Amino acid sequence: MYPIVPGHELCGTVTEVGPKVTKVKVGDNVGVGCIVDSCLECGTCDAGHEQYCEKGGNTHTYNATKTYGHISGNQEVQTFGGYSGSNVVHEHFIIKVPDGLPLEKVGPIMCAGITLFDPLVHWGAYNSGKTMSIGIVGIGGLGTMGIKLAKAMGHRVVAISNSPNKAQLAADKGADAFVVATDPESMKAEEGKLDLILNTASAGHQLQLYIPLLRANATLVQLGLITAPH
């Protein structure tokens, strides 16, 4: 399977399959996300939550130790993700790419795409039959993907950023409203209106800043990696 672009995730075309593989065939375009292996035996793996593998954690697609024996090749060599010339992975972790979807667009979907899609599904924004007001904090790679996904699901989307100059970008991606988090008047306009906030900000900040934007019993999901308490 040959990658299109270097990175942590993989996307490419299947060139060979094992005798027991049924999910894909030679010539299929496929993608692999940030997880390439897990024990595939514990309760959380059986439930499809390999990220919570109970037997020592999962194996990341990039820069991880091959722990469980489902990955071919030299077991002493770390995983290299999209930096590999080719890769052999367990079919459980392969996602078939629909015909007609350009491979150069698959990479971001396997990373930023699933990072935003999963919480939207988990918190009822996908096929729920109701229209929500969804806030997206941080208008970068993750945030712009979140805006597009939430809008495509039919919701009102509010982009939230510390930078006023992100307003046009947010609008271009489909945001219905834009809030400057450092401007009290701007924040006041959306106070108590949001059903869900997906926070992609990875710099140090206070979560309490966004709580007034939520309706009663609404949800704030932290997605950005923060290395210090906040």
- pLDDT tens readout for residues 165-211: 999 999 999 999 999 999 999 999 999 999 999 999 988 888 999 99
Q: 120 and 87: one domain?
A: no
Q: 81 and 124: one domain?
A: no
Structural domain total, the chain: 2
For residue 198, what is the enclosing H or E element? Answer: strand 194-199
Query: Could you tell me if residue 4 is inside a domain?
Result: no
Q: 130 and 203: one domain?
A: yes
Cα separation, 219 vs 200, in Å, equals 14
- pLDDT tens readout for residues 73-130: 888 999 998 888 888 889 999 999 999 998 888 888 888 999 999 999 999 999 989 9
| Residue 118 DSSP label | H
Cα separation, 174 vs 158, in Å, equals 9
**pTM summary value:** 0.87
In the block, residue with structure tokens 């469980």: 68
For residue 11, what is the enclosing H or E element? Answer: strand 10-13
CATH code, domain with 204: 3.40.50.720
Domain boundary among 36, 66, 101: 101
